[in-house]
Amino acid sequence: MPDSGLKARRIGELRVVIFGAPAYFARHGRPGHPDDLENHHCVLHAADDTDIEKWPFRIEGKYKSVRVHGRFKTDSAAAAHVAVARGLGVGRAPLWQIRRLVDDDVVQVVLEDFEITRIPIHAVWPSTKIPLAKTKLFADFLAARLKSADF
């Protein structure tokens, strides 16, 4: 934040994971390497202007984009998660969005060894001469909450 007049505090990290339904893996096998995704159906979620058919990974310490393909494309995160849970293919999403599906064993995370660097989460607030106690307490609360959960 170059000279924006805002204050920030890093309060956590966000994991982006690859996941699929056990039934899908039973039919098509579990990918063991990002390159294996070439032989899998992927559920493609258009979250922003990025190329939805390129998924980033960390392979041998370097970032590499792997081209994926799929028969289901959507701009809805909820629709993408349901499609993966129903076995239409492998998906990619922030872990916090699918945490309940993972905890209930509706979907399973794969390719964990190839995950990209976690994305930092920051609390941001306007700069004041005297730090606001409520702001600090809230940032402390969020940091503690995020630390106790694997996001």
Domains along the chain? Answer: 6-11+119-148 (no CATH), 15-114 (3.40.190.290)
Using the 8-state DSSP alphabet, how is residue 87 labeled? T
CA–CA separation, 132 vs 13, rounded Å? 24
Average pLDDT value over all residues in the chain: 90
Does residue 129 register a pLDDT over 80? Answer: no
Q: Is pLDDT above 60 for 123?
A: yes
Can you give the pLDDT at residue 128? Answer: 79
pLDDT at 50 over 80: no
Q: By C-alpha distance, which of 151, 150, 140, 149 is closest to 11?
A: 140
* b/e per residue 82-106 (b: at least 16 CB within 10 A): bbbbebbbbbbbebbbbeebeeeeb
H-assigned helices in 40-132: 77-85, 95-103
Say what the pLDDT of residue 48 is. Answer: 61
Using alpha carbons, select from 71, 2, 117 the residue that is nearest to residue 80. 71
Instruction: Indicate the pLDDT class of residue 149, thresholds 50, 70 and 90.
Output: low
Average pLDDT over residues 95-102: 94
Q: Is the pLDDT of residue 19 over 70?
A: yes
